Structure 1
Amino acid sequence: MLWRLVILLFVIARPAESYFNLFLSFAEVHRLLGLDGELFYVREGTVNEYAMKFVVPVPALIQKLHFTWENLAGRPLPYTMFVDISNPTALSSSLNISHIGEIPVGGLQTWALSLHCGPYNIEVDLSLRINVSVSRKNTTSLEFKRKKICMNLKETPTEPEEVLVAAPDSTSGGQIFYVAIGCACAFMAAIFVLIIIYYVRDKKTRRHRDPLQESRGLSSACSMERGTGVGPAQTFLSPETPPPTSAASGSSYRRLDDRPNRELHERIQEITVQRCRVRLISIELEGTFGRVYRGSYHEEGALSPKDVLVKTAAEHASQSQVALLLREGLALYGLSHPALLPVLGVSIEDRSAPFLLYPHTGYKNMKRFLLKCKFSNEGPPRALTTQEVVEMALQAAKGVQYLHRKRLVHRDLAARNCVVDDDLRVQITDNALARDLFPQDYHCLGDNENRPIKWLAIESLLNKTFTTASDVWAFGVFLWELTTLAQQPYGEVDPFEMASYLREGYRLAQPINCPDELFAVMAYCWAMSAEERPTFSQLLICLQDFHTQLTRYV
């Protein structure tokens, strides 16, 4: 009776005028579930609801998912495809067919969705959404859910290439039974994987607490030995090894990056701090591979410690991620401007997670500040006036203008890479850890590189060209973020379609309650030709004139 019930549940379906078949072939079912049989999602106008709801686990060795479909309508059937990934920093995808096209007439077609894991151990949820238009009023929507297991398999052979051959016959009753049993086994395996995930997350939570407990529980022996005069009440994060000399710093950095940059190496030597002088207090921001702490730094010879922010890589971060943290974190080193937040110090001691120190004087991340202005759990949200928005924009523009005068291009200007205090004083920061802390703002277009797609100028998107004019384009999006309180730009546009969307002349719409004069500045920044965009000197004149008009009647 039990196996009959399993078969009954498996074949429950609803009729739909789909006019096509869509299934997993014998070879694909055997590869994923280890069973012999086909698994039909759509068979001759019937959608298998049970099969659609089942989340198929994808083992680490499997890098491609194959689907087979057959057009039964006798005419091309238009379709669109979209892939949603829960953690784009850890997994990207690509299709060997177009995202928009037609199911061909005349036989079976097998196509593949390739999955590209990063160098980490993680489990990522993804869904493939397919819409097939049978007629103007009839669209069949399908969503395939998968759970991809990514592992850093350095010595394990990759998945062998397989040639998938369509089966000549349809699924027999016995084959359906075995597929049903396989789905039940896969469901049990998925539960087992969830238990493992819970254990890993619990372990990760304990690991996140350890640095803080260690920082609070250690004695001040390090400071006393070095003659700082700090009393026993002050505690610091104890290093595992003595503070590095200049040579040690250079050696450690060469191990972090196979292509060391001489200038970056010299910068690290100049501002290296002793790890034992830093105390971690609390976690401010946290991502998958990095964290931002609030802490204190007791500089040698100082009477009291100063408040700092500490950006650091997690223990399981790869060497390339650590090297990227250092490169991006030192981008503003040596600059001095009221609207810039440069790095204060760096430590790359051996066997310890490298970290970057920044001054902390009450500033908070601007994107989180804007979102809090929109949705606040601590009383009514704070409403920003147009005058305040323009004043914040003026400060940011002055900071970028200073960068350009120093012949530097920011390349990632956005609210997430700025800080603001309660008096609305703005400072621009580097983009170290931004991909990890704000993964929803970055997308990979199949080239294994996460980029802020919806902030990029058209030439940066197409050719990866970054100039002062591309910073101007990003500043226009930044202005739009200020006026919308950190609304997601182009929220309805697929990242893969952004280039064609911009080429066709589409831009962000004018926000509600945004004055025409301010929106005109944004639109001015989004000119298709880089030569037609204003410089930051011109932007400052426009914004200052508009600010003068606003204050004239206040």
Structure 2
Amino acid sequence: MNQNFLSGFIILLTSQLVFGYLNLYLSLAEVQRLLGLEAELYYVRDGNINNYALNFVMPVPSSLNSLHFTWESLADRPLLYTIKVDTSDSQILLPPQLNITSRGSVPTTLQTFSLSLLCSGAATGEVNVTITISVTITPSNVTTLMFRRKKICTKFEMQTNHVLVHTVPTYSNSTSIFYTAIVSALILIIILASVTAAYYVKNKKTRDTTSASTGPTTTFLTTGPRNTVNTSYSSFRRMPSYSLIDERSKDLQERITELTVQRCRVRLSNVIMEGTFARVYQGSYTNEEGVDEPVIVKTVTDHASQIQISLLLQEGMSMYSLNHKNILSILRVSIEDHTAPFLLYAYNNYSNLKIFLQKCKLSPEGVSHTLTTQEVVDMALQIIQAMQYLHKKNLLHKDLATRNCIVDDKLNVQVADNALSRDLFPSDYHCLGDNENRPIKWMAIESLVHKTFSFSSDVWSFGVLLWELTTLAQQPYVEIDPFEIVAYLKDGYRLAQPINCPDELFAVMAYCWAMSAEERPTFTQLHICLQDFYTQLTRYV
């Protein structure tokens, strides 16, 4: 018995010695390349193993075709290693190649080894890549580290190096070359002169017409398009919070007609939220069977403008006919002459997610609810499922944030529209001098600079939402002026890792904030990553 205990103790001791003399990490450049962060990611640092980092399945975008690891041995004797690489699909991903031998000794100085991951181009898919490194200190003591990656490949995308061959025309002699160059230059000069003259004449006519019709004017500097209407909601009228990529068959008026009910069937109880012109009530609605249903009613005050009323209807009706457990769709509409419209939503004892998170913070009465990492990831997965449904319907959200989600007492989350959000949460929206009140600090960089939106820009916003979940709805970039946010993002800065936020969760956020939209994951890929992390968390319970 004593001998067995002593033998086990010796094995445990030598196992710790392996990692007491081993460093293995991703360098600053590699983390910047993979995640866009200015940091190093250690898997083993002076004997401390980062199990969370090892368990995290890191996605590798199709634009990257290699991985790099940095390591060194601090032992006074050789540490033997073996490396093995396995993939789940050899048809999509070519056999990975290491630039070091599969067996050898860990170097005693800092060195970086690489692993090539080249897509075959035969099909589109995600390939699981498992890198197994075994370190041996004694024949009876072999410790294994396992790194998992998910390589994304696109059909016809060959990531090998190609040589571009230019065909150079052959001329009979140097005289031909000289005269050909002269003629080409003269033709180019004539074309440029014609274009310049036409441009000058056109501009002169435009200036003369403007001066004659308007007289003396004052010039203002604008950052938006020249045809932008000078109202604070003009751009939102042209482009609602949910944009349709494919045209729907019914227009807004037809949708409202289908959902309209008599005002006498709606009763208001108490005000839940209120802004300058926006109000949200708790109430009830009597359905066709005469049964009262609890509802939430969104409306505006009597002094709201027609623009604000139109915006309420347009953004509220954007959720029309959507049917998903994680999406709050509009239930009914009540419109009568000379009164503000009522937008009705089903109510099931829920609250605004942003307000709920803020109540989770310490208060004089104590903590309302202490969120665990597992609960945060579960809520994030529910939001991802809602966004997968929206994107499957070819819909963009454009304003994904905790303020536009709801949660009940069982932490069931639903994504809602952003009707009235600009008035109810004014500190979350800013105008940059272009007459557009927008959620600046939740928007992707291309949406800020070029006003372009895509599935990838929704992914960026989800990264900020995930940051809100882990910080209990703190304001993002609170120290950055809205006018400086574009330059801040272009310089590579992002939101800092929240306190007590696991590295795996922050890595997902950072991946959502990739500078290039093509390098960001889809919501399907995010679901796979967070589901794996959620499974790891449940194993410790």
TM-score (norm 2): 0.54
Match status 1:271 vs 2:270: no
Query: Which position in structure 2 is the counterpart of 1:548?
Result: 535
Match status 1:336 vs 2:302: no
Match status 1:490 vs 2:453: no
In the TM superposition, residue 381 of structure 1 has moved relative to its aligned partner by 3.6
Contact 2:231–2:435, Cα closer than 8 Å, also in 1? no
Which residue of the other structure, out of 268, 274, 283, is the alignment partner of 1:280? 268
In the TM superposition, residue 353 of structure 1 has moved relative to its aligned partner by 0.5
**Deviation string, structure 1 residues 66-100 (Cα, Å, up to 9, x no partner):** xxxxxxxxxxxxxxxxxxxxxxxxxxxx99799xx
In the TM superposition, residue 380 of structure 1 has moved relative to its aligned partner by 2.8
Give the 3-state SS of the residue equivalent to 1:330 in structure 2.
helix
Alignment of 1:169-180 (within 5 A): none
Which residue of the other structure, out of 375, 381, 384, is the alignment partner of 1:388? 375
Letter in 2 for 1:553: Y
Query: Which position in structure 2 is the counterpart of 1:472?
Result: 459
Match status 1:305 vs 2:259: no
Match status 1:410 vs 2:397: yes
**Deviation string, structure 1 residues 456-512 (Cα, Å, up to 9, x no partner):** 000110111111100000000000000000000000000001111101100000000
Letter in 2 for 1:408: L
Letter in 2 for 1:345: R
Match status 1:426 vs 2:432: no
2:222 & 2:315 partners in 1: Cα distance? 36
Letter in 1 for 2:279: R
Query: Which position in structure 1 is the counterpart of 2:83?
Result: none
Give the 3-state SS of the residue equivalent to 2:297 in structure 1.
strand
1:447 & 1:510 partners in 2: Cα distance? 32
Letter in 2 for 1:276: C
Contact 2:327–2:414, Cα closer than 8 Å, also in 1? yes
Q: Percent identity?
A: 67
Query: Which position in structure 2 is the counterpart of 1:451?
Result: 438
1:430 & 1:318 partners in 2: Cα distance? 20
2:332 & 2:495 partners in 1: Cα distance? 39
**Deviation string, structure 1 residues 268-296 (Cα, Å, up to 9, x no partner):** 01100111100000000000011000000
In the TM superposition, residue 448 of structure 1 has moved relative to its aligned partner by 1.4
Contact 2:374–2:538, Cα closer than 8 Å, also in 1? yes
Alignment of 1:354-369 (within 5 A): 354-369=341-356
Query: Which position in structure 2 is the counterpart of 1:314?
Result: 301
In the TM superposition, residue 447 of structure 1 has moved relative to its aligned partner by 1.3
Letter in 1 for 2:391: H
Cα distance change of structure 1 residues 495 and 547 upon mapping to structure 2, 3 Å threshold: same
2:432 & 2:362 partners in 1: Cα distance? 32
Letter in 2 for 1:289: F
Letter in 2 for 1:412: D
1:118 & 1:269 partners in 2: Cα distance? 28
Give the 3-state SS of the residue equivalent to 2:333 in structure 1.
strand
Which residue of the other structure, out of 499, 505, 530, is the alignment partner of 1:512? 499
**Deviation string, structure 1 residues 51-80 (Cα, Å, up to 9, x no partner):** xxxxxxxxxxxxxxxxxxxxxxxxxxxxxx
Query: Which position in structure 2 is the counterpart of 1:153?
Result: none
Letter in 2 for 1:294: Q
Give the 3-state SS of the residue equivalent to 1:501 in structure 2.
helix
1:399 & 1:367 partners in 2: Cα distance? 17
Letter in 2 for 1:319: Q
Which residue of the other structure, out of 342, 352, 357, is the alignment partner of 2:339? 352
Give the 3-state SS of the residue equivalent to 1:374 in structure 2.
coil
Query: Which position in structure 2 is the counterpart of 1:294?
Result: 282
Contact 2:232–2:437, Cα closer than 8 Å, also in 1? no
**Deviation string, structure 1 residues 358-383 (Cα, Å, up to 9, x no partner):** 00001100000000001445443421
Query: Which position in structure 1 is the counterpart of 2:449?
Result: 462
Give the 3-state SS of the residue equivalent to 1:331 in structure 2.
helix
Cα distance change of structure 1 residues 538 and 347 upon mapping to structure 2, 3 Å threshold: same
Letter in 2 for 1:295: G
Cα distance change of structure 1 residues 346 and 547 upon mapping to structure 2, 3 Å threshold: same
In the TM superposition, residue 348 of structure 1 has moved relative to its aligned partner by 1.9
Cα distance change of structure 1 residues 361 and 381 upon mapping to structure 2, 3 Å threshold: closer
**Deviation string, structure 1 residues 172-197 (Cα, Å, up to 9, x no partner):** xxxxxxxxxxxxxxxxxxxxxxxxxx
Give the 3-state SS of the residue equivalent to 1:315 in structure 2.
coil
Cα distance change of structure 1 residues 383 and 508 upon mapping to structure 2, 3 Å threshold: same
2:277 & 2:515 partners in 1: Cα distance? 36
Alignment of 1:178-193 (within 5 A): none
TM-score (norm 1): 0.53
In the TM superposition, residue 311 of structure 1 has moved relative to its aligned partner by 0.2
1:368 & 1:95 partners in 2: Cα distance? 39
Letter in 1 for 2:484: E
Match status 1:532 vs 2:508: no
Give the 3-state SS of the residue equivalent to 2:497 in structure 1.
coil
Letter in 2 for 1:272: T
Contact 2:222–2:433, Cα closer than 8 Å, also in 1? no
Letter in 1 for 2:285: Y
1:407 & 1:454 partners in 2: Cα distance? 24
Which residue of the other structure, out of 435, 440, 443, is the alignment partner of 2:427? 440
Give the 3-state SS of the residue equivalent to 2:466 in structure 1.
helix
Give the 3-state SS of the residue equivalent to 2:499 in structure 1.
coil
Choose 1 or 2 for highest CA Rg: 2
Number of residue pairs aligned between Structure 1 and Structure 2: 302
Q: Runs ≥4 in structure 1, deviation > 3 angstroms?
A: 94-98, 116-119, 375-379
Letter in 2 for 1:475: F
1:275 & 1:378 partners in 2: Cα distance? 40
Letter in 1 for 2:432: L
In the TM superposition, residue 349 of structure 1 has moved relative to its aligned partner by 1.3
1:375 & 1:327 partners in 2: Cα distance? 38
